[in-house]
Amino acid sequence: MLEYLNFSTMKKPLFILSVALTFLAACASNHKEVKPAHAIQGLASPIRLQLDTTRVYMTDYFPETSKIESISWNGVNWNSDSTGLVILLGSAPSPVSNMNIIYEGGSYDIPVFATNKIRHTFTYKPSRPDVTTIEVSGSMNGWNRKASPLIKNGDSWSVEMVLNQGLYQYRIWEDEIEMMDASNTNTISNGMGGFNNTFQAGTSTEKQPMMFTEHASQTSITLVDADDCEHVFAYLDNQLIDTHKEPGKIIIDIPKSHTAKERSHLRVFADNGTTRYNDILIPLKNGQVITNPAELTRSDLRNTIMYFVMVDRFVDGDTSNNRPTDDSTIHAKANNLGGDLQGITQKIKDGYFEKLGINTIWISPITTNAEGAWGLWDKGVKSTFSAYHGYWPTALRSIDNRLGSKVAMDELLATAHANNMNVILDYVAHHVHQEHPLYKQMPEWTTPLYLPDGSMNTEKWDEHRLTTWFDTFLPTWKFADHAVVEALTDTAMYWVENYDLDGFRHDATKHINEDFWRTLTKKVKAYQAQHPNRSLYQIGETYGNPELISSYISSGQMDAQFDFNLYDAAVDAFAKPETNFSNLERVLEESMTYYGSHHLMGNITGNQDRARFISYADSSVQFSEDAKLAGWTRNIQNRDTSGYHNMEMLMAFLMTAPGVPCIYYGDEIGMPGGNDPDNRRMMHFNDWNSPQAKLHEATQKLVNLRRSNMALSYGETEIIYNENGVLVIGRKYFDSVAIITLNKGLSSETLSIQLPTHLSTTSKQLLQNEIRINQNQIEIQPSSAGYNVFYK
């Protein structure tokens, strides 16, 4: 039988409890009455086990760990201390298991996922025998070549790493010289005109077993399970509820106790004894399954369509606050152009966002920023920069008067909310400008600019990830000091407490340690507990591998991050005519594995740190060139209509994929540009040419289809076909079905693709090309390059 850790009778701060291996037959009914319990805010993130030891912070889930009465889990063994830190040792009894916590008399359940990690030995033979040092950097170690020291063994070098099974990219360093591994022919595009080597850790993952939503009544939900699961766990919010099985089906009874709750969620996790299934997510209103998207609100985050606005580059709504920096060393495109908060409010009132289908606006930082000219670009063109972008703060609790005022921000928020839109604020916690008074007063609160070896610690993104400065005038806060963490999280909370915000986009997430994010999120949750009508979404920015990215996503940290890996794969797939969809499929499935089948990751159309997608897609910018230099030295314009076609394909993919679609301002009309600052041109509205207007219309249709089809926001996702430059994706949510076809036009033959019976659809379609569908079969002609969405 299961044993329980009882906190109320605990006398020692740390102890180890071995638990019997008895495993509850999860597919059987639990036979218990479920009473709603509300100590956990939101949906408890699953506990993902590591290979040997897993640290679980109960403070991620519960406001006061002293009120935890007991914890039970049917794993091998584990221990806990009085602070609520639980250390799970060894393996899990099955791919999915459950942890139960009794908190103030209420029962809570958290899913536990077994690890997918293995020990992998990487071996490399140098190109010459006299090499003295070998280093490897790649997606497996955060591209930090100092993180995985190789040891020489005979004529080869090796290192053992603990990795999730999957594909990894890497490059080699021989005696400080970066190179490809010439002995390995497996390569992949790096998205910048070059290539990386790849290796496979473990065996290629077996095809994931699938379950699908089939039917909902007032009292129960039926799922299709063709693979016959061994264990299934159904959670209504954060409590386990009854399930039972019939041949090929899973039946879940909806407790009557939740009928009074305006919004609750049902989650289902299952496994076949060796492999975890896709997960199911179903929103409920007053205990009834939501099948009509009109019942979703702006607080239902999976129905979110986000739009990024760089405030200074959007609309000049108040010319009286225009104050470009008066310095002749600043090129015009690197100076303030006059956009402001009032301009964004005008466009909300004009209906621009509503017509496009946007329900969440992400605005760039608005805190007071540095005056004067800073930094230097000296390639082809010489220029310093103003702080037009908002990422060089000199005050953390005031609005930059070049962008607006508190009155203007309050009006923007009120106008957005009156039009059923969220507003999330880009917040810079990582650094300040050297002119910030607090830096002058407390320089010891920042990390040293120089490393012990005398070298400057700037732009060492991976090697010194948590201490590096972004530039010599941008000191990094010392987040290893908890006093700094407390002060800066209080500053972030100022914006929550004084403005009716709906969340944060957090800059430079991976360069800040987890203590900051846990402390901030704990304060956010405490505030939300006192203000139950406030819902705050936190999304981060991390360039790195999924392991690093996901380490910041949990109930105690952020809701999501932007999925730059998916964007890179999408750029490679849609902007390059010769690339097929193999890597895009791999990364799409990898994201669902790491972040969940119904994750809230941001899926971007573009990024302020990259050249515009459309300029790559029409070859106005080459992948092999310096895109910043191109932006400074050339007048980059749309070359032809091919870029618009490919931009529309990218939009179709992002508007139908799991996650939160995010439009980079201007991508809806195909604005061109090299890298920063050329990708940050002033937005324009009333002078669109025919291709721009056509792309805007197509984007509008795709966005509104996303918001009006439950399968595209809550549906299960299945890759149906991926060959010959054709990718077919199916999404299903009960009777709502969407079939997405993406065709590169690489095949010279007509393709006939059979659809699974559970994904049968009608002939409604949103199309860029002509494709025929006959019952469960799609016919794709060789000349039909483009996308289609069949839906019902």
Q: Per residue in 646-705, pLDDT tens? A: 999 999 999 999 999 999 999 999 999 999 999 999 999 999 999 999 999 999 999 999
Quote the pLDDT of residue 190: 87
Q: What is the residue-wise DSSP string for 183-223?
A: T---EEE-SSS-EEEEEEESSPPPPPP--EEEEE-SSEEEE
Residue 57 token pair: 């912070």
What span, in angstroms and rounded, lies between the C-alpha atoms of 551 and 558?
10
273: amino acid identity, one letter:
G
Quote the pLDDT of residue 442: 97
Q: Per residue in 251-301, pLDDT tens? A: 999 998 777 789 999 999 999 999 999 999 999 999 999 999 999 999 999
Quote the pLDDT of residue 57: 96
Higher-confidence position of 193 and 305:
305
Quote the pLDDT of residue 762: 62
Q: Per residue in 100-157, pLDDT tens? A: 999 999 999 999 999 999 999 999 999 999 999 999 999 999 999 999 999 999 999 9
CB 710 within 8 A of CB 736: yes
13 has pLDDT over 80: no
Quote the pLDDT of residue 35: 61
Higher-confidence position of 1 and 687:
687
Q: What are phi and psi of 423, to 5 degrees?
A: -130, 125
630 has pLDDT over 90: yes
Quote the pLDDT of residue 74: 83
Quote the pLDDT of residue 768: 64
Quote the pLDDT of residue 76: 63
CB 337 within 8 A of CB 388: yes
Question: What is the spatial order of strands in the sheet that 68-73 belongs to?
Answer: 5-6, 68-73, 96-103, 106-113, 47-48
| pLDDT band (50, 70, 90) for residue 781 | confident
Residue range 359-366: average pLDDT? 98
Average pLDDT taken over every residue of the chain: 92
What span, in angstroms and rounded, lies between the C-alpha atoms of 318 and 265?
44
Rg (CA), the chain: 26
Quote the pLDDT of residue 19: 34
- CA separation, residue 571 to residues 593, 649, 694 (Å): 21, 11, 21
Question: Token match 């993130």: residue?
Answer: 45
Higher-confidence position of 400 and 84:
400
| pLDDT band (50, 70, 90) for residue 764 | confident
For residue 782, the 8-state DSSP code is: T
Quote the pLDDT of residue 21: 28
Q: Per residue in 507-543, pLDDT tens? A: 999 999 999 999 999 999 999 999 999 999 999 999 9
CB 71 within 8 A of CB 138: no
452 has pLDDT over 90: yes
What span, in angstroms and rounded, lies between the C-alpha atoms of 364 and 512?
19
| pLDDT band (50, 70, 90) for residue 205 | low
Query: For the chain, how are helix, strand and coil distributed in percent, rounded to 5?
Result: 25, 30, 45
Residue range 400-421: average pLDDT? 98
Quote the pLDDT of residue 759: 87
Tell me the residue length of the chain. Answer: 792
Quote the pLDDT of residue 772: 76
Strand partners for 121: 160
Of the chain, the percentage scoring pLDDT greater than 90 comes to: 85
Helices (DSSP H) in 244-351: which residue ranges? 341-350
The contacts of residue 443 (CB under 8 Å, 6+ apart) are: 475
Q: Per residue in 582-623, pLDDT tens? A: 999 999 999 999 999 999 999 999 999 999 999 999 999 999
Q: Per residue in 302-338, pLDDT tens? A: 999 999 999 999 999 999 999 999 999 999 999 999 9
Of the chain, the percentage scoring pLDDT greater than 70 comes to: 94
CB 785 within 8 A of CB 744: yes
182 has pLDDT over 80: yes
